[in-house]
Amino acid sequence: MTKENLIEKIKAMAAAPSCCPELTAAVQKYFDALGTDKEKVAAQNLIAEIEEDISDVDSLVAFAHSDRAKEIFGEGQKNFAAHADELKASGAKYCDCGACAPGVEILQNKEILLG
């Protein structure tokens, strides 16, 4: 994977409705630092935030079956919970939402951002 590919993954992650404000802020700081002497530190901070925010599949399942998920998704919570259960049954380790899926790929290739 190239740095350009990772930058596209970062953009996709930040654009996802499931991306939290803290991660969005870390992405912006990284993009602000690109090409400067602050880029490596911003990349380290971005990676740390991704590591903190990615949901493992067990946490996803617990959330999907929670009262909070019912509040957020209403009737859609049942489908969301079923999807989370299927994801776990398939052997997945992480959430596959629009923020977590590219986040996992970014972490798998973080040395490119840190290099």
Q: What percent of the chain has pLDDT over 70?
A: 100
Mean of the pLDDT values across residues 66-81?
96
Tell whether the model's pLDDT for residue 115 goes beyond 90.
no
Distance CA 95, CA 84 (A): 8
Distance CA 10, CA 28 (A): 10
Write out pLDDT tens, residues 1-53.
Answer: 999 999 999 999 999 999 999 999 999 999 999 999 999 999 999 999 999 99
Find out whether 13 and 23 touch, Cβ atoms under 8 Å. Answer: yes
* CB-facing half-sphere around the CA of 67: CA atoms within 13 A: 0
